[in-house]
């Protein structure tokens, strides 16, 4: 989404406390018109609470939510004209699919023919025209969520909130509906705020992703931004797979930070934050950015960082070869070889190899308590 689109939703310094716990701790986000923004985080990170404050179901302890530059905090949730799809199945059980989708227009007292026309169009949008007469209990989970989507879109809200709508579905169905959601977003140009804990889903759907942790937004950016330039070890661990190597900062210059690994090898990585020389740090590198060469082979000039390792295990995954290697200090690292997966296919368990990478592909993060390797 182009950054020139006007801001539609503006979340300002949002704080929400439930008794002694702070669920949302100073969240600020601007959402452009037509943007697909995903709140990504584990449970309890404040993403759903933030969404519910935008919907109007929770009042914030502090901060503001603006739509079109006007605060909506004093606007009742039924007057905000926002569409919402919930995590649980929320179709009205006693009404047919048609009447479910017609409900928002019925409470708006729209004329009968207009309702019929709009419901038909919207059911066609989610490809469920032939299910109009069914009751929700006669639909599968995926169909129910598509009806819920139709119900949230039928009154043409400018903003659509989605709270983990696919969490209850199995993987294949989830991917199918993700494609539907992308298509609908493209066709309608509606602004979507989407909550999920599934990083793959976030990457697949979003224009931008806001990573939530402990009630704060840790980083906002496109999927590529978060993957290539994670702001800290938490984001790096949350988006994609990563290796984290313990390191001590040796020297800092404009481009690279040199760090010393536990075995004394000095390597380098890029960094955004200023690090003190001698401080503890953590070097992050993605499994697919690591390369294995035979110890005797000539070093490739592109790979300016090298560590001797021992091969522990190789797993053939079709499109890639996954290797586990052990460093001299006993840490197990993941390496993903694509393309020339054949190159070292003969190397058996216990083979002495050299692990190398380009210093531009590694990142150095300040070591913070508990954040060295959040998740693999």
Give, in order, the Cα–Cα distances in Å from 115 to each of 48, 112, 123, 130, 148.
Answer: 31, 5, 12, 17, 16
77 binds other proteins (CB under 8 A): yes
94 lies in the binding site for other proteins (CB under 8 A): yes
The one segment of 80-88, 220-228, 237-245, 268-276 that binds other proteins by CB under 8 A: 80-88
Q: Is 165 in the site for other proteins (CB under 8 A)?
A: no
Buried b (16+ CB within 10 A) or exposed e, 207-246: bbbbbbbebbbbbbbebebbbeebbbbbbbbbbbebbbbb
Q: Does the footprint of other proteins cover residue 131 (CB under 8 A)?
A: no
Residue number, 143 or 257, with CB nearest to other proteins: 143
In the complex with other proteins, the residue whose CB is nearer, 192 or 344, is: 192
Give the nearer residue to other proteins in terms of CB position, either 159 or 335. Answer: 159
Name the 3-class secondary structure at 360.
Answer: helix
Nearer to other proteins, 79 or 375 (CB): 79
Give 138 or 349: the residue with its C-beta nearer to other proteins: 138
Determine, following the binding rule CB under 8 A, whether residue 103 of this chain makes contact with other proteins.
yes
Contact between 357 and other proteins per CB under 8 A? no
> Of 148-156, 237-245, 308-316, 343-351, which segment contacts other proteins by CB under 8 A?
148-156
Q: Are 283 and 376 in contact (CB under 8 A)?
A: no
State which of residues 29, 123, 148, 149 lies at the interface with other proteins (CB under 8 A): 148
138 contacts other proteins (rule: CB under 8 A):
yes
Residues 307-335: b if buried by 16+ CB within 10 A, e if exposed? bebebeebeeeeebbbbbbebeeebebbb
* Contacts (Cβ under 8 Å, ≥6 apart) of 124: none
What is the helix (H) or strand (E) element at residue 20, kind and residue range? none
Q: Between residue 252 and residue 271, which ones bind other proteins under the rule CB under 8 A?
A: none
Contacting range for other proteins; rule: CB under 8 A; set: 102-110, 116-124, 174-182, 222-230: 102-110
What are the start-end ranges of the H helices in the chain? 47-55, 97-107, 112-125, 141-153, 171-188, 199-205, 223-228, 233-238
Contact range with other proteins by CB under 8 A, out of 32-40, 146-154, 246-254, 321-329: 146-154
Q: Distance between the two ends of the chain, CA-based, in angstroms?
A: 30
Whether 267 contacts 356, CB under 8 Å = no
Can you tell me which of 13, 59, 88, 179 binds other proteins, judged by CB under 8 A? 88
Among 104, 165, 237, 246, binds other proteins (CB under 8 A): 104
Print the binding letters for residues 33-72 with other proteins: x by CB under 8 A, - otherwise.
----------------------x-x---------------
DSSP string, 123-178: HHHTT-GGGTT--GGGS-HHHHHHHHHHHHHTT--SEEEEESTTTTS-HHHHHHHH
Identified binder of other proteins from the candidate list 9, 37, 128, 152, rule CB under 8 A: 152
Chain positions contacting other proteins, by CB under 8 A: 55, 57, 76-79, 81-84, 86-94, 103-104, 107-108, 135-138, 148, 151-152, 155
């Amino acid at each position: 989404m182009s950054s020139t689109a006007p801001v539609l939703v503006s979340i300002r310094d949002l704080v929400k406390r439930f008794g002694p716990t702070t669920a949302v701790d100073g969240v600020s986000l601007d959402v452009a018109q037509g943007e697909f923004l995903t709140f990504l985080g584990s449970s309890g990170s404040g993403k759903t609470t933030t969404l519910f404050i935008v919907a109007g179901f929770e009042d914030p302890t502090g901060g503001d939510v603006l739509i079109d530059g006007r605060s909506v905090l004093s606007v009742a949730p039924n007057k905000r004209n926002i569409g919402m799809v919930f995590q649980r199945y929320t179709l009205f059980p006693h009404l047919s699919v048609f009447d479910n989708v017609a409900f928002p227009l019925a409470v708006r007292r729209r004329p009968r023919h207009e309702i019929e026309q709009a419901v038909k169009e919207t059911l066609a949008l989610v490809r469920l025209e032939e299910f109009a007469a069914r009751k929700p209990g006669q639909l599968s989970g995926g169909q129910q969520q598509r009806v819920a989507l139709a119900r949230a879109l039928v009154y043409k809200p400018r903003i659509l909130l989605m709270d983990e709508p696919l969490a209850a579905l199995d993987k294949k169905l989830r991917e199918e509906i993700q494609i539907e959601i992308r298509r609908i977003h493209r066709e309608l140009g509606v602004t979507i705020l989407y909550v999920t804990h599934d990083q793959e889903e976030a990457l697949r759907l979003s224009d931008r992703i806001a990573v939530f942790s402990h009630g704060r937004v840790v980083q906002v950016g496109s999927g590529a931004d978060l993957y290539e330039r994670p702001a800290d070890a938490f984001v790096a661990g949350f988006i994609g797979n990563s290796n984290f190597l313990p390191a001590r900062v040796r020297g800092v210059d404009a481009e690279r930070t040199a760090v010393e690994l536990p075995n004394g090898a000095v390597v380098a990585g890029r960094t955004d934050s200023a690090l003190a020389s001698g401080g503890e740090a953590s070097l992050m590198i993605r499994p697919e950015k690591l390369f294995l060469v035979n110890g005797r082979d000539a070093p490739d000039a592109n790979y300016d960082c090298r560590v001797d390792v021992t091969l522990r295990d190789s797993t053939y995954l079709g499109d890639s070869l996954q290797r586990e290697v052990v460093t001299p200090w006993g840490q197990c690292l993941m390496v993903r070889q694509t393309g020339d997966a054949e190159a070292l296919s003969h190397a058996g368990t216990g083979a002495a190899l050299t692990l190398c990478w380009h210093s531009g592909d590694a990142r150095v993060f300040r070591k913070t308590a508990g954040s060295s390797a959040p998740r693999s």
